Structure formats: structure tokens, C-alpha cells
Structure 1
Amino acid sequence: MSAQYTTISSRRSVHEDQDEFYSYRSDSVTYEKHSMSEVKMKSQSDAPKMSQYRTLSLFGRTINFVVLVTHILIFLYATCFWIQTGALPYLTKKLGVDPVVYGYLQTTFAIVQLAGGPLFGRFGDLFGGRAAMSLAFVSAALSYGLVSMAYSVPVLFLSRLPSVFLHAMQGGLMIVTDVVDSKDRASAIGKLSISYGLGMVIGPLIGGLTTKHVNEQFSASLACGGSLLCVLIVFLFIPKQTKRESVLQKQDERSGASVFSVSKLLTLLSNPKAFFLLSVKMGTGIPIGIFQSMFAVVAMETFKLPADQNGYIMAYIGILGMIVQGFGTSLMVSRFGENSILKLSTCILAAAYLFLAFVTNIPMLLVAVFPLVIGLSLKNVVITSALTHTVSDADTGAMLGLNMATNSLIRSVSPTVGGLMLKNYGFPSFGTLGFVMSSTVAVILFFKLKN
């Protein structure tokens, strides 16, 4: 029994060698007695999630159609997001924004997303995947559209407000979590990151080239148009509901539930395993949040890179993330436990940050980014998958919302802190801070998860 309580995700233990068996969930510590016939009937009523939807055969493999469309949407979302993200720092520079004010702009974006993440998750749980994804892409189109019309700093800050529901990746994770079987969740989340990684490769390249040869506003307009296309795809191909019938029946029984149910979110957050996982994510995420939020400024000011070369580096990072999350994570999860992967990824991060503190040129930066992406990719996929196992299927969207809110909280602090650190202590301070925080988290993990 004790071994079950040291794992970071709640799983069901089943002894099926008898006509009757006992099962328990480690998050509720409750026991149930079942007959094998009852289990078979329940299995038939709940049915394998993947069988509820139309499938396609590609390259000899059966692919769920809804999952395939979700991958396409996430690719387009990432492409548009990184087109706009790659153009934004050059637009702010043209408008006379210094690194500190740029940090304030990034902080505004993060705070707005922090407010919307949990609400978006609850919205998806209550109203379904189609409504959630449509809301995300409408928010994206409004935000990018305002950037395309930004010829003053106040309009740039105004463009951050519609991004309160710009959570398409969270919506994609919600759909995949609903559709795939629980045992395949970590692998499915990792594969969804392939599509995001492809968009992260293509987006900066397009953004860099259009910014260089046209202007920053045109890049933002292109991202706006792509987001509107995604809204159409969602309405045509994403079903209204992706959760199983049994889950929807439970939701109907508590039909009084509200999107703005703070007590519900606090209840989910009070789960000890969820709180621990989110704390680990926070501790290791703040340094990378600082690095990411200031990367475009560092590329311009420290390494003197033009927009197109900055896009090449972002594409390189996207390719690394795509490979690790899409293929490396599945391989690691199948061979090692989640606890082991979490500890390993934190140690990799500590070593990568230490090297980052001594980076002085682009080749060294490219080398430092390699282990950094590996550590982050492994950590994020494992934590995201584990968090969905700490709640019932009816609340996975809300938990994913809290997970994304943690990212937003990190991003709300990171740009301002990063701007001040860059201005007062220089780029090496990013690596030093990351090494100290990641090493501390690694020690805690080895002590907490020693069994």
C-alpha cells in the first residue's frame, strides 16, 4: 500500500485473478468490492473513449478523427502565436519601448491569462470542447488584430486584454484527455506537443521573414487571419461534447455548477498531490519563465540578432521540444516511473542553467538550450499527465486550467523580474538563478520521492 501513495499520480489497482476483486483510488482512499460481471457491464457502458469517434487509417495506423483535428488546430494555434510573438519585440522597439516596459507588457499578458485559465477550464468542463476551443481562437483573433493596429504603446497594452481566454493549448489538452484512455494520457499529451512544436518551428520563421520584408503589423494580421480560420475548423469538425456519457450524467446531476465556482477550484487545489505537483512546477518554472520572457530582448541587445535570425533560433528550440515531447517522453514513460523522470528532468535543468550562466556567444547558447529543452519537456508532460489523474474525469478541464494558471502566474512575475535582472546584473544572472532554484527542487524531490 505505501508504494501506491508515493507515486505522483492516482491510479487504480486491480486484482483480476478472482471472480471478485477490490479496487481503490489512492486519492480518495476508498475501497469497493466488484464482481467481474459488474466490471464488464460498466466497461461496456463507458466504452473505450477512442471508439466513440470516427477513425481514419493513415500509414497503417488507426487515428481518431477528433484527435487528428485537434493536432491540426494546435499546429495552427502555435504557428499564429509565434508569428505574433516573434514580431512583438521588434514592434515594441520601433515604438521606443525599453526592456523594463517590455517586461511590464509581458507581465500584463500573463496576469490576464492567469485570470482566465481556471475559468476557461471550468467553461470547457461545463460547455464542451467545441465551445472552449471557439472561445480560445476568437480571443486570439481579437488580440492579434489589435496588435496589427498598434501604432502606440497604449494599444499594445490593450491588445493583451482579449487574451484572457487565449488558451487553445489548454483546450486541446482537455479534448485529448477526454478522448484517449487514461493509460495512454501521458503519451497523447506528448504527441500533442509535436504539433505545437511544428507550429513553434514554422511560426517564428514566418514571423521573422514577414517582419523583415513587410512589417510587424502585417505579421500580426497574418496571425489574426489564421486564428479566424481555426474558429471555422472548430465549428465544422469538433463535437459539442467530448466527455463520456457517464461523466456528462454526473455533470447533469450537479447542473447548478458555475463557471465562476471559486470553491470548486480551491477544492481541487487543496488536493495534496496536486498542490505538490504545482509547487514543483512553480519552483522549476520561474527561471525558465524569466529566460523566455527576456529571450527576444537578449537576442536583440546582447547577441545583436536581427528578426530573421532570432526566428531561426526559436525554430531550433521548437524542433528540440517537438522531438523530446513527442518521442522521448513516450519512450521514457514506458521504461521508467513518473517519479524517476521528474527527478531526472530537474537534475538536467540544474546542469543546463549552470552552463547557461557562462554563455557568451550564439554557439554556446545553442548548446545550453539543448539540455534545457529536454529537462523542461520531460517535466511538463509528466506533471500535466499526473495532474489529470488527481481528479475525476468530470474535472480534468478545471485541473488543466489550474496547471495553465501556474504557467501564467510564472509569466506574470518573470518579465518584470527578468527586465530588472537583465538591466542590473546581465544575462548570466538568469543561469545562476535557475541553477539555485532547480537544485533546491531536486533535493526536495529526492527527499520526498525517495521510495
Structure 2
Amino acid sequence: MELEYLAKSLGLDSVGFGYLQTIFGVLQLVGGYIFGRFADQFGARAALILSCASGSFFFLLMSFSTNIPLLFLSRLPGVFMHGIPGAQKVITDVTTPSQRAGALGKLGFCFGVGIITGSAVGGVLSTKFGVYVPTYVGLVGSLINTLIAVLWIPSQTKPKSDHHRTEHSTSPSGSLFSIREILRLMKFPGVMEVFIVKVFAGFPIGLFMIMFSIISMDFFGLEAVESGYLMSYFGVLQMVVQGLVVGKLASRCSEMTLLRLSVFVFACVGLGMALMRTVWHYCIIAAPLVFAFSMLATITDSILTKAVPPSDTGAMLGICASVQPLTRTVGPTIGGVLYKQFGVSSFGYLQLMVNLGLFVFLLKSKIPLEEMKSQ
């Protein structure tokens, strides 16, 4: 939100702001896998330090962005700004496979708290003290995070036995970016199937969220403050689901059951979105939507990191982290056409059809989850 105010204060129109967001999405898309490979080759601690340091550089450049070219230049450090995959890599290294889904859920809860708190504080700071003040606070916060990563994250996060196996199971290519390496990971049992579900199950709702600022004004008739309240409600739901629901279900149900459940709930959400007419309808739909979104993200990350050797968990997390930037990159164009030509209900019908297809696929396919163990 603060970025929008800063861009507007510099005279950037909506089209230019779309280009700015697209550039950031492309950088994140390309950088996600490279960051994951870096984590595999140099350790989770080094990767987390790189992410936090890049964040510091990002906010530093933003604080100096007194014109539009500098604002575009400030996006460049985004290629290595992957705090969530970096933290997930640490969690993946220090947890057993049976603990992983619950731990990743708790991590998502912590990030949710940070996003909600940061958005609220940023809004207050930019309103009362100017659009550049949030960038100064972000710079200080990123520097503190960098210091924490240097001082308190152990240099070796993998258990010794896994570390020994990792040294003898390094991937064929030593480069940080290799299409051949991505294809190699996709050949592990079950990886391609689960990754397809991860990409397509949430894609329609991703298009809807990209267009949400326009939909909230045109379709729901909300003011900016009311839209902010709605997003806060969405964030609180996400914290509750991540903190209280995902971990408990992960300890009691199989991962395939939860994967099917999340896709089925997504399909039901699609039907609800196709029929909704008011913002109150959306508030009701938001609860199962957040559940499905959070469950899908956590379970697929857990499954996919178990499916590959310990030496490749960072690369796998990097590939997973590229799904959202991919949606942000192609989403504005596709979402704009859907909304203009077919209206809000089109997002719901697309969500329903895609997830019903995926649900049938999961029911019929024999994805070998039982073989998904650290090698």
C-alpha cells in the first residue's frame, strides 16, 4: 500500500505502476529458484543472510527514490528477497518429516502476524509522517533481521547424518540456475503431480486477488478504508488457520487426504464466488478460502521437500516460491480480460472447474507419497 502512495507521489500512473509490479514479479520468479540453489550449496544461514541483506538494500534504494527511474531501480534487490523460502529452508533442515507440515504452518502464522502488523504500522507512518518514513523503518527492520541471522542461525542447520549424505549426493550441476536441474527434480516420484496441483489449484483465486483493488471499488462499492478493513479481516483469518488449524490437522490426517480436502474446498469456494453479490457474501466465503489456500500451500511445500534429497530441499522451496510471482507476472493481463469480458463471477466459475478437475485427478492418480522420504 505504501508503495502505491510513493509511486503516486512521484507521478507514476496506474499503467506505470503495473509495469513496476510486473518487473518485481519477474525478478522474484527468476530469483526464487536461484535463491533455493544458493541455499543448497552454501547453507540456509547464508541464504537467509543474503535475503535480509537484499531487503536492506531494497529499502535503502526506496528511501532514495525521488524520481521514477530510481523507483524502478529499487526493485532490483527483489531478485534475492526471499525471506519466506529462507525461513522455510531452516525449518525443513531442523525438523523431521513428520513434524514438517505443522512447523511450516506455525511459520506461516508468524509471517501473517508480521504482514498485518507491518501494513497497519506502515499506513499510520505514511499518513502522519510522510511516504518515505515506512522505508526507513523497513531498512532498520531488515538490518536487525540480518544481524539476527548472522548471530543466532547456526551455520549448519542440517543434522550431521543428513549433512554427510548431502555431501555425497550433490546435484550434477554446480550452477545456480539450470533448467536441467529443475527437470531432474520434477522426475522424482510424485513431484510433478503435486507441483501441478500447487500451481493450478490457487491460480484462479490468485487472478481474483490481483484484481481485488478494482473489484472492491467497482463491484463491492468499497472505499479505501473499508478495503483495508477487509484485507485485515482476511489476514486475521489466515493467522487463525495457520496457527490453530493446519498443524492439528497435519498431525491427525494423511497429507494426501489434506491435499484432496484443500482442492475440494477450493472448488466449493469457486461456486460461492460465482454466486456472490455483496461484500458480506465474500466475508462468508473468505473463511473456507483462507483454509484451502493455507492448507494447500503448507501441505504441498511439506510433500515436495520430502520428495527430494536433503541436498535439493532449497531448490525445491525456491521453485515453490516462484508460483506466486508467476501469478503476479501473468495475472494482471488474464485477470483484466476475465473481469472486463465476463465479470466477477468468471473467477468463481474458473476456480470451480479447475479444482473439480484437479480433485478427480487426485482421486484417480496413484501419487507415491509413501516413498517421499529424505534420501
| TM tier, smaller | 0.7 to 0.9
Task: Look up the match of 2:322.
Answer: 405
Q: CA deviation at 1:253?
A: 4.4
Match of 1:258 among 158, 161, 174: 174
Q: Which one is further off, 233-242 or 244-253? A: 244-253
- In structure 1, how many angstroms separate the alpha carbons of the residues matched to 2:301 and 2:41? 21
Q: CA deviation at 1:99?
A: 4.8
Ranges in structure 1 where 5+ consecutive residues have no aligned partner: 1-85
SS at match of 1:389: helix
Task: Look up the match of 1:73.
Answer: none
Task: Call closer, same or farther: CA 1:153–1:296 in 2, change over 3 Å.
Answer: farther
Q: Which one is further off, 251-260 or 387-396? A: 251-260
Q: What pairs with 1:38-437 in structure 2 (closer than 5 Å)?
A: 86-95=1-10, 97=12, 99-253=14-168, 258-260=174-176, 262=178, 263-299=180-216, 302-303=219-220, 305=222, 308-437=225-354
Q: Which one is further off, 367-376 or 287-296? A: 287-296
Task: Call closer, same or farther: CA 1:148–1:303 in 2, change over 3 Å.
Answer: farther
Q: Which one is further off, 112-121 or 426-435? A: 426-435
- In structure 1, how many angstroms separate the alpha carbons of the residues matched to 2:7 and 2:157? 40
Deviations 1:164-188 (A, max 9, x none): 0111110111101111122111111
C-alpha contact 1:190 1:381 (8 A) present in aligned 2? yes
SS at match of 1:216: coil
- In structure 2, how many angstroms separate the alpha carbons of the residues matched to 1:267 and 1:403? 15
Deviations 1:366-425 (A, max 9, x none): 222221101111111111100011112222111111111233222221133224444554
Task: Call closer, same or farther: CA 1:443–1:132 in 2, change over 3 Å.
Answer: same
- In structure 2, how many angstroms separate the alpha carbons of the residues matched to 1:224 and 1:301? 35
C-alpha contact 2:190 2:367 (8 A) present in aligned 1? no
Task: Call closer, same or farther: CA 1:420–1:138 in 2, change over 3 Å.
Answer: farther
- In structure 2, how many angstroms separate the alpha carbons of the residues matched to 1:271 and 1:285? 23
Q: Which one is further off, 265-274 or 248-257? A: 248-257
Q: Give the number of equivalent residue pairs.
A: 366
SS at match of 2:316: helix
C-alpha contact 1:210 1:219 (8 A) present in aligned 2? yes
**The structure with more radius of gyration:** 1
C-alpha contact 1:293 1:418 (8 A) present in aligned 2? yes
Q: CA deviation at 1:438?
A: 2.1
- In structure 1, how many angstroms separate the alpha carbons of the residues matched to 2:131 and 2:247? 38
SS at match of 2:307: coil
Task: Look up the match of 1:80.
Answer: none
Structure number with the higher helix fraction is 2
SS at match of 1:175: helix
Q: CA deviation at 1:144?
A: 3.0
Q: CA RMSD in A?
A: 2.6
Post-superposition, which runs of at least 4 consecutive aligned residues in structure 1 deviate over 6 A? none
- In structure 2, how many angstroms separate the alpha carbons of the residues matched to 1:405 and 1:190? 19
Q: Which amino acid aligns with 1:279?
A: I
C-alpha contact 1:106 1:415 (8 A) present in aligned 2? no
Task: Call closer, same or farther: CA 1:303–1:171 in 2, change over 3 Å.
Answer: same
Query: TM-score, normalised to structure 2's length?
Result: 0.88
Q: CA deviation at 1:309?
A: 4.0
Percent sequence identity is 37
- In structure 1, how many angstroms separate the alpha carbons of the residues matched to 2:272 and 2:212? 16
- In structure 1, how many angstroms separate the alpha carbons of the residues matched to 2:46 and 2:210? 30
Task: Call closer, same or farther: CA 1:339–1:88 in 2, change over 3 Å.
Answer: same
Structure number with the higher strand fraction is 1
